[in-house]
Structure 1
Amino acid sequence: MSSTTAQRWVLGLSSLASFVVVLDMLVVATALPAIQRDLGASLEDLEWTVNAYTLSFAVLLMTGSALGDRYGRRRVFAIGLGLFAVASAACALATQAGSLIAARAVQGAGAAMIMPVALGLLNGAFPPERRGWATGVYGSVTGLAAIAGPVLGGLVTQHLAWQWIFWLNVPLTVIAIPLVLGRIAETHGPGGALDLPGLALAAASALGITWALVRGNAAGWGSAEILSTLAGGVVAGGLFIVRERRAPAPMLPMRLFRSPAFSAGNAAVFFINASLTSAIFFTAQFQQVALGHGAVQAGLRLLPWGIAPFLIAPRAGALTDRIGERALVVIGTLLLGAGMGWIAIISQPGIPYATTAVAMAVGGIGFSLALPAVTKSVVSRVAPPDIGRASGAFSTLRQLGGAFGVALTGAVFASAGGYTTARLFADGYVPAMAVSAALAFAGTAASFFLPRLSYSRPPLRHEGQRPTERTAP
């Protein structure tokens, strides 16, 4: 069955938007040393350059989805692209670390409006029998962004300037906006009131805990600043749970966590992404600061982590149906932890790349096996009306895991190393990678609570039928 012109436009524009959003998570990795030199940024500033984007993206994901359902997915998609373009320009024009961090936070808010709405448009445009093919294309393009991000960041930083990693977003998103408005039909979801108190509590919890981790070494772990922000984050998290249990239209229904597959799957993906994101953050810098490579070489040397997911992940999904989620997630997280631990053991200035590449490949294979299986575990057992919220919770915890991993390993790095010499950077890098390995093994522990096999129930109604779904030309 061939696709219609309208379906191809939805697929193409959704995939382009996903490519840009995911690219911006990783393209910064190889530009961090240049940003550190040009803006006089500290380690804390570099962490917030990554985490400001990740945190606002994670916290606002479910809100972006709700806005699309209520006010129109096409409209919110276009607004998100516009916000992303403006924020990208602000990043490129930043002359201080603080202004760059603020612009990155706004960029993450734009990404949170783009990603869930793009998936909603994609699922609405294709019938159930073509949806798997469409999401496969979409996922492949997203995987390509993960491969291209560090390499493109290195090329642009080395041959132009780090500011151009942000300028490249502007024409792509500006061109996409009129195409979205002119080529995609408007659709709405169930709608309903936004859970603003829940959003505020979730944001306060994530910000308080991450702030304490990032600032701990500088301010002192026993200081009033750290103790108050950490306690505030924990309290806000508890209040969020209370709020979601009582809210008439919660952004994250607590009843979903009664499912071991949902709870363990979300815990596992939190630790999996914490491990990989923190490893990429420091390894891109290790290649340049400790080993003396240029930005392009550093990006190319990260490819073993990116190629494996691109090649293996599509096939791992089919394997999940045969042997179950738990086996793949356990094996995958063990390989991921082994790869990170191997890097921690062997890393030192002057280390041959071949040994590191093998360790990266082991970790990349593990990530490729675990992620499709844990994704299926989270969404396969919820009722059809809850799939959107379950997917939003999964994406949110995945991004929060990345922010947590960078903050935690950053604290470990700062306590043992620094940027002054190659030896000093390696002294901090080794324990940071050991923590990345421990985070992967924490994912292994969570994965033992997954069911052995997942037998998906038939949908309560045809997947394309949504009682409150309406379309307009």
Structure 2
Amino acid sequence: MNTSSTKQSMARIGTPEGKWILLATVLGSSVVLLGSTVTNVALPHIGEDFSTGLDALQWTVNAYMLTLAGLIMLGGSLGDRFGRRRMFIIGLVWFAAASLLCGLAPDANTLITARALQGAGGALLTPGSLAIIESSFHPDDRARAVGLWSGFGGIGAAVGPFVGGWLVDGPGWRWTFLLNIPLALVCVPIALRHVPESAGSAPVEARDTVAGKPTSPRRRGFDVSGAALGALALALATYALTEARNGSIAVALTGLGSVVAGVAFVVVERRQSDPMMPLAIFASRQFSAINLITLCVYAGLGGFFFLTALELQIVVGYSALEAGAAMLPNTLIMLIFSSHAGELVRRLGPRLPLTVGPLTCGVGMVLMLRVDAGASYVIDILPALLIIGAGMVVMVAPLTVTLLSSVDGRNAGLASGINNAAARASGLVAVAALPLLSGMGPDAYRSSTSFETSFSRAMPLCAAIMGVGSLVAFTTLRKATAVSHRSPRHTHGWLMEPPLAPRLSHRYD
């Protein structure tokens, strides 16, 4: 391969070609972000329209997260094998079709099924957007292109709940899903016309290393059995937790089945010649610690955002628009300050920010206990949200920087894929388990008094989970860990999951 000629043919930031590629990837990422952020504010209205219980509202959120978390690594492998642009476009069309089904759903079961299909489309779409940038832009422009992509994605995350609330209070909750269709209709022709196709990096890589040990040359494939078992284990666990209040034998058997599927997943990944999740990567103590911290902090955050969107509407009496707008300061803090927070790791090491950040978020969650029917936004709600936002700034970007520095550069995409899936899975489990642990009945969201009582039990649980993450960071991370030069100088924090890193970061360097 002629490396210099390849570099010359790649896109630059200031060219029309580069701008079109950025536009396509930002639009594509936006539909997935909207699928994650706009739904929570619509939940009370969905429950009212369908006259359904709390478990259906949980599944409306979790069906999406389940397929997205369970299939996102498989989606990345499919893009590596069959072409990133191709899978990106297929994911867009799939996501738009599922969004249409969500918007037209005649009942809760159809909506939940459509949400699961949405997540599957997102799993095809999400890994491709950043990989397209890395494979399409000149090496000198990649860091800036990733920064622009991440920054615009942060804006999308910030306005998502606000737009969702406006749609719910205006044309109705169905439009929170139908909104994705025009975005996809604009994005698909742009991608077809302006985004170059790129195959995976594996065929041109001589060797990979996992946990510092070289492996024999291989072509990255896709591990369907591993993906299926992982998704099955998550699905069964989520069902068991969501339906546990019924106390039936079927629920107990489902819980046992999730354990069996989880064990089978580990066995298959250990024996698979080309596994989706090579277990050897967990030989790195820092990598294992970072993923354990991720499980804790994103479980706490996932439960917090799910319940707070309901609390503001059911108990405080906010409209959907007001509830979405109320969360803006938290997201804006992330958007403004996260791009430089990665420097904390270089100056202080990962131990301090990853200990202080979760603790700070936990304090904010405890302060949410002051939120009740007579709560003042400025006095009671805003201070808690600002403290949580500050804690997220301190921990989210350093979490990503430390993760990427814990593995060999060729495994950056694999490592971030595992970490991203772990974050989504922990949020999924939190949304399923917290209502059960806080004693929230199936009709709790219909009564402000009942919901407030359960919310006051759930917030300390969220804070405790964040505290466990802080304790893990303090006890497992060294005070000053060297950070590799491969780590990005400016890492943007994402609201509900860590960003994915592509697999071919150094392909042309």
Task: Give the TM bin, normalised by the shorter chain.
Answer: over 0.9
Query: For residue 153 of structure 2, what is the aligned residue in structure 1?
Result: 142
Query: For residue 21 of structure 1, what is the aligned residue in structure 2?
Result: 32
How much has 1:437 moved relative to structure 2?
1.1
Over residues 378-411 of structure 1, what are the superposed CA-to-partner deviations in whole Å (9 max), with x where a residue is unaligned? 1212112211111110110111111111111121
Number of equivalenced pairs: 461
Query: For residue 443 of structure 1, what is the aligned residue in structure 2?
Result: 469
2:221 to 173, 193, 196: 193
Query: For residue 122 of structure 1, what is the aligned residue in structure 2?
Result: 133
1:262 to 283, 287, 296: 287
How much has 1:45 moved relative to structure 2?
0.4
Structure 2 Cα separation of the partners of residues 49 and 358 of structure 1:
30
How much has 1:327 moved relative to structure 2?
1.2
Query: For residue 165 of structure 1, what is the aligned residue in structure 2?
Result: 176
Contact 1:84–1:107 (8 Å) recurs in 2: yes
How much has 1:434 moved relative to structure 2?
1.7
Contact 2:440–2:451 (8 Å) recurs in 1: no
**Which piece of structure 1 moves more, 275-284 or 62-71?**
275-284
Query: For residue 403 of structure 1, what is the aligned residue in structure 2?
Result: 428
How much has 1:131 moved relative to structure 2?
2.1
What pairs with 1:58-457 in structure 2 (closer than 5 Å)? 58-189=69-200, 190=202, 192-217=220-245, 219-220=246-247, 223-344=248-369, 346-354=370-378, 355-415=380-440, 418-448=444-474, 449-457=476-484
Q: Report the identity percentage.
A: 34
Over residues 18-62 of structure 1, what are the superposed CA-to-partner deviations in whole Å (9 max), with x where a residue is unaligned? 122112101011111111111112110000100100110011111
How much has 1:135 moved relative to structure 2?
1.5
Structure 2 SS opposite 1:293: coil
Over residues 198-241 of structure 1, what are the superposed CA-to-partner deviations in whole Å (9 max), with x where a residue is unaligned? 11110111111111111111x21xx3222211111122112211
TM-score of the pair, normalised by structure 1: 0.93
RMSD: 1.8
How much has 1:456 moved relative to structure 2?
3.9
* Code of the aligned partner of 2:170: H
Query: For residue 6 of structure 1, what is the aligned residue in structure 2?
Result: 17
* Code of the aligned partner of 2:467: F
Structure 2 Cα separation of the partners of residues 100 and 425 of structure 1:
24
Change (3 A) 1:127 1:14: same
Structure 2 SS opposite 1:188: coil
Give 5+ residue unaligned stretches, structure 1: 468-473
Structure 2 SS opposite 1:349: coil
Contact 2:84–2:131 (8 Å) recurs in 1: yes
* Code of the aligned partner of 1:452: K
Structure 1 Cα separation of the partners of residues 308 and 67 of structure 2:
24
* Code of the aligned partner of 2:396: L
Structure 1 SS opposite 2:342: helix
* Code of the aligned partner of 1:75: R
**Which piece of structure 1 moves more, 63-72 or 290-299?**
290-299
Contact 1:127–1:464 (8 Å) recurs in 2: no
How much has 1:463 moved relative to structure 2?
4.7
Contact 1:291–1:349 (8 Å) recurs in 2: yes
* Code of the aligned partner of 1:438: A
Structure 2 SS opposite 1:348: coil
Contact 2:59–2:112 (8 Å) recurs in 1: yes
Contact 1:272–1:367 (8 Å) recurs in 2: no
Contact 2:139–2:508 (8 Å) recurs in 1: no
Change (3 A) 1:343 1:457: closer
How much has 1:457 moved relative to structure 2?
4.2
How much has 1:2 moved relative to structure 2?
4.8
**Which piece of structure 1 moves more, 170-179 or 409-418?**
409-418
Runs (4 or more) in structure 1 with deviation over 6 Å come to: none
- Higher helix share goes to which structure? 1
Structure 2 SS opposite 1:95: coil
* Code of the aligned partner of 2:230: A
Structure 1 Cα separation of the partners of residues 39 and 269 of structure 2:
35
Change (3 A) 1:158 1:216: same
How much has 1:7 moved relative to structure 2?
2.4
Structure 1 SS opposite 2:198: strand
Contact 2:134–2:505 (8 Å) recurs in 1: no
Structure 1 Cα separation of the partners of residues 505 and 58 of structure 2:
41
Over residues 283-305 of structure 1, what are the superposed CA-to-partner deviations in whole Å (9 max), with x where a residue is unaligned? 11111111112111111112232
Change (3 A) 1:299 1:415: closer
Structure 1 SS opposite 2:221: coil
Over residues 120-167 of structure 1, what are the superposed CA-to-partner deviations in whole Å (9 max), with x where a residue is unaligned? 111112244322211111111221122112111110000111011111
* Code of the aligned partner of 2:46: I
Contact 2:26–2:152 (8 Å) recurs in 1: yes
Give 5+ residue unaligned stretches, structure 2: 1-11, 203-218, 487-503
How much has 1:419 moved relative to structure 2?
2.6
